[in-house]
Chains A and B, each alone.
Chain A
Amino acid sequence: MATNRSMRLLGGALVASALMLPAVAAADYSTVTDERLRNPEPENWLMYRGNYEGWGFSPLDQINTDNVKDLKPVWAYSTDVNEGHQSPPMVNDGMMFITTPENQTIALDAETGELIWRHQSEISEELFQLHPTNRGAGLYGDRVYLTTTDCFVVALDARTGEEVWKTAINDWELGYYMTMAPLIAEGVVMVGTSGGEYGIRGHITGLDAETGEIKWVTHTIPGPGEPGHETWETDAWKTGGASVWLTGNYDAETGISYWGTGNAAPWTGDLHPGDNLYTTSTVALRVTDGQIVGHHQYHWNDSWDWDEVSTPLLVPFERDGRQINGLVHAGRNGYLWLLDRGAGSNIGFVDAHKYVRQDVFTSIDPETGRPTYDVSKKPVVGKEIHFCPSLWGGKDWPPEAYNPNTGMFYIPANDNLCGSLIGEDVPLVPGELWLGVPIPDIKMYFVEGEKHIGEVQAWNLNTGEEVWSTKFESFNWGPLLTTGGNLVFAGGTRDRLFRAFHGDTGEVLWEFKTNSGITAVPSSYAINGKQYIAVQAGWGVDAVRMENSLSAERGWDGDMRPTPIGGVLWVFALD
């Protein structure tokens, strides 16, 4: 017979699990300091792209071109979520953090795969998630920092997963949301917001990492009186987009962060005449006060939904015998952009190279990098306009990677996809989708006679030449990891494969068929001298949308079975 006392014990146990107290107590947590973030240990992966420069590079070389053929899975973990998984496994001295769709964060023992804690933010069912995913945690101090799809920054205790503070960045009911991993430097947590499809006015926010208080807000569309405001000829600046939805990179020597900005809203440029700063640009912000100290706009008066939100990598390269502090960005617009960040402000143009089929730009100014357009390829209201690449671009959000040992720059690309749009002028309803193009008039198609879409490309930035390109019939949504073992790791294709490429040649040296397609960022770490490669599989979000758009045309779904979904974290090592 159940007694009151045993019921209270049962109740207590239920309460403990509801509060998500640790199933396994976290051992001493290694505090993440500014010094460690500036110089991360090779055996850890402490931030979204591995280092502040955004390289996506692990110095570890135990796994290399000679032995990667022996790489095997050592453990796996189901995330409980069916949707697009995108975030890298972060590792800090044996403790791993992954984020998943549904605003979930999971902490695991990086060696054994045992669960340490889970946290989930509850989101209103009134919110519809255009991009139901998350791109990673930020680690700083003894905390884990996240963004949510209802536009909060949340700070958790890294040891227990308990919430320490939560700060609203903007109003999700107006279409602002977040999926990015925060950039954290010098005690400031920095985030941008998504919402370029909802007519937001984009901004980057800096918060105090300790208290969660907002220190500064910098709009990526200048207001009246601010420099750049004159590039908006009408009131369209108020709802002009310039979202920021990927993690900034950071130059610790100058204290300046670099961010990419998204499309102008709504899509066709005739509805927002002017160059529209700072849409489709890179902006440089001083971390202490959020001041914009420089920018480069990749293409003006955006009319193609070519977000240039992917953050430029801080990469050194040579030009005319000069060593340049570079910013390198594989643009959605189909060009690879080489810029000079100089002493920290006034970003200068160096060079640009087409890396996929592109029929919009007729020239690039050699001094400023400003493109001129074939007007017949620039979408407008009421007319069907065709252009290449499609709105998905030569590369969407999946990040490039840079290997400092070899100097090679790698790009996950999609070629031979073009598109068309017919613009319409409709009023914005706050909180509702506002593309300015009816859904059936957003078209994408494969170029007749071509044989492939997805690529992994390798470039020599000093010569400005493509060194190799490995091609796939499938499109490629695979973020890149490159390593000291001279390998490039990536998923991204419909065949569920996770591959290792030879860094010098692009030859596939190893592949493993996971449970689902991979669109997540891979990472690498080491424990007790053993190197691991980790990646989340779990197809969804834009890869699914692209798959649906193309499958009938490409004959992929003869039996109506698209790529299966389901989140699983995979960890690999040598025997």
Chain B
Amino acid sequence: MLGGLVGWLLSPIWFRPKRVRAADHDPTKLRAQPGDQLVFKSGDRKDEVIAAADVVAGEKPLVGYPYDPVNDVLRKGSRLNQILVLRLPPDELTEEVRARSVDGVIAYSAICTHENCPVTGWHPDHEQFICPCHETHYDPKNGARVVSGPAKRALPALPLTVKEGILIAAGGLTGKVGKRKSS
């Protein structure tokens, strides 16, 4: 690998081949893509497709992985692909969030933008995601923006649509997943 780096650095600038990483070739590692469905991450229905009806108002968020039904690819190759799905009253969502939702069902990246922990906590009274690592609270009704805690960036959203009752990604994630490197 070091030899490759040296070769890359020493070659004239106009002749450098694009540096390609392994992840680019592995579809299980790709983040959620437009057209992907979502499957349950764990529990009795692990790996089963999540229908809109599975997302029940008043219950804590479901956690899923993206799934490409055309090529039968389950995007479990990176832990960072986890998605939170929940249902909230549509009239309590901001317009921006409502535009990405289906009858109040919304989805966000599950990966905290502070230190990449999975945001598995849920406050039922405040209806906020809580990251268990350092207690960042995010507001799903307002684009999963940070309410309190050390994270500086909202959770990227996954726009949703529905087809024959199954949730489908209507677009890619609205931002980069997880912690931003400083350099």
Residues of chain A at the chain B interface (Cβ within 8 Å): 2, 4, 7-8, 11-12, 14-15, 18, 80-82, 125-130, 132, 429, 432-433, 435, 438-440, 540-541, 544-545, 548-549, 551-552, 557, 560, 565
Q: Which residues of A contact B149 (CB under 8 A)?
A: 544, 548
Residue B95 CB within 8 A of the other chain: no
Q: Give the Cβ gap from B180 to chain A, nearest Cβ, in Å.
A: 11
**How many angstroms between the C-alpha atoms of A11 and B178 in the bound complex?**
33
**How many angstroms between the C-alpha atoms of A12 and B11 in the bound complex?**
11
**How many angstroms between the C-alpha atoms of A433 and B115 in the bound complex?**
14
Chief secondary structure at chain A's binding surface: loop
User: Given A125-B116, A439-B120, A548-B149, is A80 in contact with B182 using a C-beta cutoff of 8 Å?
Assistant: yes
Residues of chain B at the chain A interface (Cβ within 8 Å): 5-6, 9-13, 42, 78-80, 112, 115-118, 120-124, 130, 132-136, 148-150, 178, 182-183
**How many angstroms between the C-alpha atoms of A549 and B136 in the bound complex?**
10
Q: Give the Cβ gap from B60 to chain A, nearest Cβ, in Å.
A: 9
Extra pairs beyond A80-B183, A128-B79 (12, CB < 8 Å): A12-B10, A125-B80, A126-B78, A126-B80, A127-B116, A128-B112, A128-B116, A128-B117, A130-B133, A433-B120, A440-B124, A545-B134
B9 pairs with A440, CB closer than 8 A = no
B116 pairs with A7, CB closer than 8 A = no
**How many angstroms between the C-alpha atoms of A438 and B115 in the bound complex?**
20
User: Given A130-B117, A548-B135, is A125 in contact with B10 using a C-beta cutoff of 8 Å?
Assistant: no
Q: Nearest CB to that of A14 among chain B residues? A: B9
B130 pairs with A440, CB closer than 8 A = yes
Q: Nearest CB to that of B179 among chain A residues? A: A125
Listed residue (B118, B134, B149) with the most chain A CB atoms within 10 angstroms of its CB: B134
A548 pairs with B5, CB closer than 8 A = no
Listed residue (A128, A433, A565) with the most chain B CB atoms within 10 angstroms of its CB: A128
**How many angstroms between the C-alpha atoms of A125 and B117 in the bound complex?**
11
B117 pairs with A549, CB closer than 8 A = no
Contact of B10 among A8, A126, A433, A560 (CB under 8 A): A8
Q: Which residues of A contact B148 (CB under 8 A)?
A: 548, 551-552, 557, 560
Q: Which residues of B contact A127 (CB under 8 A)?
A: 116
Q: Which residues of B contact A11 (CB under 8 A)?
A: 6, 9-11
**How many angstroms between the C-alpha atoms of A125 and B178 in the bound complex?**
9
B183 pairs with A18, CB closer than 8 A = no
**How many angstroms between the C-alpha atoms of A548 and B135 in the bound complex?**
7
Listed residue (A14, A548, A565) with the most chain B CB atoms within 10 angstroms of its CB: A548
Kindly list the 6 A-B residue pairs having the minimum CB-CB distance in the complex, ordered from nearest: A439-B121, A11-B10, A548-B135, A128-B117, A128-B116, A11-B9
